[in-house]
């Protein structure tokens, strides 16, 4: 029937599209074939004109004034927005996020290093003591300990010791001496 014919045509067209995609780019097929998003909704190259910037800001659901792409150094960022490097620890824990564990709302642009800034990993929340103070205290302690251990290795100092003295005539029998023979007398002291 017509429905079967349409379904057959659609199947062939889908197969043809998959073939074209496979020939075009050696990338995993599931990445784009599964989503229905068109190419202009996907990240693209660095925006050069103000119109491209406005379009990119709209695409990423951001204000045009807020949108700032990574500098065009050829590192592969494209037009992805440069968001502040703040971890998810700093986001309000009491707000009703759409995804509470990720503290992320649907459609909100994700940081490039989103998977680094999750709450199990890097935490950039403010510290009670400034970071440079903490670093200084830690390096002073570590440096002092290393220097002292190094000096101790170079100039060891311990109480005077002598060779170990064994009982029973220097352990004559335990060292396999003949029990029938008289062991040589050993004295470790002088009176």
Partner 1 sequence: MAAGPPPTAAEAYRPNRFVSLPAELDPDTYDVSPEKRRAEAERLAIRARLKRQYQLQLNNPNPPAIIEDPALVRWAYARTQNVYPTFRPTPKTSFLGALFAIGPIVFWIAVFKADRVSQLTTLNDSQREIVKCRSAWRLNWWDPVAPKSD
Output 80 or 172, the one with its CB closest to partner 1: 80
Output 68 or 173, the one with its CB closest to partner 1: 68
Q: How far is the CB of 178 from partner 1 (least distance, A)?
A: 26
Output 44 or 183, the one with its CB closest to partner 1: 44
Binding residues vs partner 1 (CB under 8 A): 25, 27, 31-32, 35-37, 41-46, 59-63, 65-66, 73-78, 80, 84-86, 90, 98, 104-110, 112, 114, 124-127, 130-132
DSSP string of 133-191, one letter each residue: HHHHHHHHHHHHHHHHHHHHHHS-----------HHHHHTTTTT--TTSPPPP------
Spacing of C-alpha 66 from chain mean position = 28
Question: Could you give the C-alpha distances from 133 to 67, 122, 127, 137, 146, in angstroms and in order?
Answer: 34, 20, 11, 6, 20
Say which DSSP state 122 is in: -
Output 8 or 45, the one with its CB closest to partner 1: 45
Report helix, strand or coil for 104.
strand
Q: What are the backbone angles phi and psi of residue 153, rounded to the nearest 5°?
A: -75, -40
Q: How far is the CB of 52 from partner 1 (least distance, A)?
A: 14
Q: What angle do CA 12, 13, 15 make, to 5 degrees?
A: 65
Q: How far is the CB of 21 from partner 1 (least distance, A)?
A: 12
Spacing of C-alpha 117 from chain mean position = 9
Q: How far is the CB of 102 from partner 1 (least distance, A)?
A: 10
Output 109 or 183, the one with its CB closest to partner 1: 109
Smallest CA-to-CA distance from 109 within 90, 84, 92 is with 84
Output 57 or 172, the one with its CB closest to partner 1: 57
Q: How far is the CB of 2 from partner 1 (least distance, A)?
A: 26
Q: How far is the CB of 19 from partner 1 (least distance, A)?
A: 19
């Amino acid at each position: 029937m017509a429905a079967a014919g349409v379904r057959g045509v659609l199947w062939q067209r889908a197969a043809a599209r998959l073939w074209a995609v496979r020939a075009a780019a050696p990338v995993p097929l599931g990445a784009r074939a599964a989503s229905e998003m068109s190419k202009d909704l996907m990240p693209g190259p660095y925006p050069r004109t103000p119109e491209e910037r406005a379009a990119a800001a709209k695409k990423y659901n951001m204000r045009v004034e807020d949108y700032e792409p990574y500098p065009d150094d050829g590192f592969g960022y494209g037009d992805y927005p440069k968001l502040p490097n703040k971890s998810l620890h700093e986001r309000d824990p009491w707000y009703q996020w759409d995804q509470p564990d990720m503290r992320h709302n649907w459609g909100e642009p994700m940081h490039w290093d989103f998977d680094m800034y999750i709450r199990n990993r890097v935490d950039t929340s403010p510290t009670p003591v400034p970071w440079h103070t903490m670093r200084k205290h830690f390096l002073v302690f570590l440096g002092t300990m290393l220097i002292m251990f190094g000096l101790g290795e170079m100039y060891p100092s311990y109480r005077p010791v002598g060779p170990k003295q064994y009982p029973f005539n220097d352990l004559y029998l335990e060292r396999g001496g003949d029990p029938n023979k008289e062991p040589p007398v050993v004295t470790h002291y002088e009176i």
